Amino acid sequence: MWKIPLSDIDLGAEEISAVQGVLQRRWLTMGEVTQDLEAAFAMYTGSKHAVAVTNATAGLHMACAALGLHAGDEVIVPSLTFVASANAIRYTGACPVFADICGEEDLNISPQAIEACINEHTRAIMVVHYAGYACDMPRILEIARRHDLRVIEDAAHAAGSWLENRHLGTWGDIGVFSFFSNKNMTTGEGGMLVTDSDSLFEKLCLLRSHGMTSLTLDRHKGHAWSYDVVELGYNYRIDEMRAAIGVVQLGKLDQNNERRRELTALYENLLKELPQMTVPFRGHPGMSSAHIRPILLPRGVDRVAFMEQMKAQGIQTSIHYPPIHRFTAYREVDPGASERLPVTTNVAAREVTLPLYPRMTDDDVTAIIDAVIHALLPERRS
Ligand SMILES: *Cc1c(COP(=O)(O)O)cnc(C)c1O
């Protein structure tokens, strides 16, 4: 249907044979392949511990639970993110408080806005590295230290993203990565937590599997006969088929992200011809995974008509994101949000995401920019 889709996955014979290998060995859930993926991911990100989970939403919930969040607590989070970030906070009974983003050039949470949201109920800050572009972690950690707050990094977009040579997700107390189908490395559904804290690691392992002190694998290996349940835990385990895909995908991540960054540079270059268009994250500090390519339409352009025009030319676009504080299920959660979020409101109304995936060609980018120019022509607007 699409000449150029929004995204596409790099999946091939290696993943198929990895899954086949798991099926032939007949151990299907949280076994040695999962341990391999965790070890490889910890090594890749330079974190002490990695815990693989069923998806990043479960991982964010575990992160909130491991930090002891509960009813009456507040967690500062951006509204310009996927709803899972804020949902995970609410699962614990804690309340998300939405902070504004930096500006039209930097769609990440603003340290200044974070500080303005802090009160005696604030327990944590959940940052989101939009498209893998780093939040201002040095400043955010400094604020957190000063106010004794924990820091969770929603690093769903950020596999293969660094700031000051430190992988994103390893700056705060816990980082959470997503391996959902449209992310830079995928297992279909899947996710990973990273932490340097031994005590948080132990807690996360308990939360992942019913709060039980031994795993099926330990009992199978004759390491344990029984178990105690020491926490109210969940079943957020990953299976071996997904872990096997993950090992292969992690091996391809750097090369694929490099290609995403090349395509991003090409986009930025071609978009110089359209000075009325805002191109966020140009020259942003650190090295991004370039998960998606957002642009902001000029004020007054009808976004739906623009996206329809792109569709008519065979090009799929998307919106990242409809802001969370406007959703029906969030109307009562943070009633003061609207007045506090002028930049989010402005950006969210104008943002359009253009296609970006490693197998795109340079000619695809040129064709997309031609289509953008065509869609912006006044006579083309309905
Ligand atoms: C994809 C995504 C999630 C959720 O990840 P799942 O693995 O699908 O649960 C959370 N936060 C952000 C910013 C995301 O993009």
Q: Going residue by residue through the chain (382 aa), what tens digit of pLDDT does each one get?
A: 899 999 999 999 999 999 999 999 999 999 999 999 999 999 999 999 999 999 999 999 999 999 999 999 999 999 999 999 999 999 999 999 999 999 999 999 999 999 999 999 999 999 999 999 999 999 999 999 999 999 999 999 999 999 999 999 999 999 999 999 999 999 999 999 999 999 999 999 999 999 998 887 788 888 888 899 999 999 999 999 999 999 999 999 999 999 999 999 999 999 999 999 999 999 999 999 999 999 999 999 999 999 999 999 999 999 999 999 999 999 999 999 999 999 999 999 999 999 999 999 999 999 999 999 999 986 554 4
Long-range CB pairs of 254-261, under 8 A, 24+ apart, other chains included: 254/160, 255/358, 256/10, 256/184, 256/185, 256/358, 257/160, 257/184, 257/289, 257/290, 257/358, 259/358, 260/184, 260/289, 260/290, 260/291, 260/356, 260/357, 260/358, 261/287, 261/288, 261/290
What's the 56 CA to ligand 1 centre distance in angstroms? 5
What's the 159 CA to ligand 1 centre distance in angstroms? 12
Q: From CA 330, how far away is CA 300, in angstroms rounded? A: 27
Options 183, 203, 272, 311, the catalytic residue: 183
Q: Is 88 in the pocket of ligand 1 (CB under 6 A)?
A: no
What pLDDT was estimated at residue 24?
A: 97
Give the residue whose CA is nearest to atom 5 of ligand 1.
56
Q: Is 150 in the pocket of ligand 1 (CB under 6 A)?
A: no
What pLDDT was estimated at residue 214?
A: 80
What's the 177 CA to ligand 1 centre distance in angstroms? 8
What's the 152 CA to ligand 1 centre distance in angstroms? 14
Give the residue whose CA is nearest to atom 2 of ligand 1.
156
Give the residue whose CA is nearest to atom 8 of ligand 1.
180
Q: Which atom of ligand 1 has the smallest separation from the CA of 191?
A: 7
What pLDDT was estimated at residue 378?
A: 66
Q: Is 128 in the pocket of ligand 1 (CB under 6 A)?
A: yes
Q: Is 157 in the pocket of ligand 1 (CB under 6 A)?
A: yes
Burial 94-124 (b: 16+ CB within 10 A, else e): bbbbbbbbbeeebbbbbbebbbebbeeebbb
User: Please, are residues 264 and 256 in contact by the beta-carbon 8 Å criterion?
Assistant: no
Tokens at 66, concatenated: 């491991």
Q: Is 79 in the pocket of ligand 1 (CB under 6 A)?
A: no
Give the residue whose CA is nearest to atom 10 of ligand 1.
84
What are the Cα distances from residue 371, in Å, to 69, 176, 263, 307, 365? 47, 36, 16, 10, 10
DSSP 295: E
What pLDDT was estimated at residue 379?
A: 56
The Cα angle at residue 139 between residues 136 and 142, in degrees rounded to 5: 145
Q: Which of 354, 336, 276, 284 is nearest to 102 (CA)?
A: 284
What are the Cα distances from residue 74, in Å, to 68, 71, 224, 284, 302? 12, 8, 40, 30, 36
Q: Is 57 in the pocket of ligand 1 (CB under 6 A)?
A: yes
Q: Is 156 in the pocket of ligand 1 (CB under 6 A)?
A: yes
Q: From CA 128, how far away is CA 75, in angstroms rounded? A: 13
Tokens at 189, concatenated: 């559904």
Q: Which atom of ligand 1 has the smallest separation from the CA of 182?
A: 1
What pLDDT was estimated at residue 377?
A: 81
Q: Which amino acid is at 84?
A: A
What's the 84 CA to ligand 1 centre distance in angstroms? 6
What pLDDT was estimated at residue 298?
A: 96
Asked about 183 being catalytic, the answer comes back as: yes
Predicted TM-score (pTM) of the model is 0.97
Q: Which atom of ligand 1 has the smallest separation from the CA of 130?
A: 13
What's the 187 CA to ligand 1 centre distance in angstroms? 13
Q: Is 85 in the pocket of ligand 1 (CB under 6 A)?
A: yes
Tokens at 329, concatenated: 């299920």
What's the 119 CA to ligand 1 centre distance in angstroms? 28
Q: Is 100 in the pocket of ligand 1 (CB under 6 A)?
A: no
What pLDDT was estimated at residue 382?
A: 47
Pocket test for ligand 1, best of 55, 80, 82, 184 (most atoms within 8 A of CB): 82
Q: Which amino acid is at 235?
A: N
What's the 189 CA to ligand 1 centre distance in angstroms? 10
Q: Is 168 in the pocket of ligand 1 (CB under 6 A)?
A: no
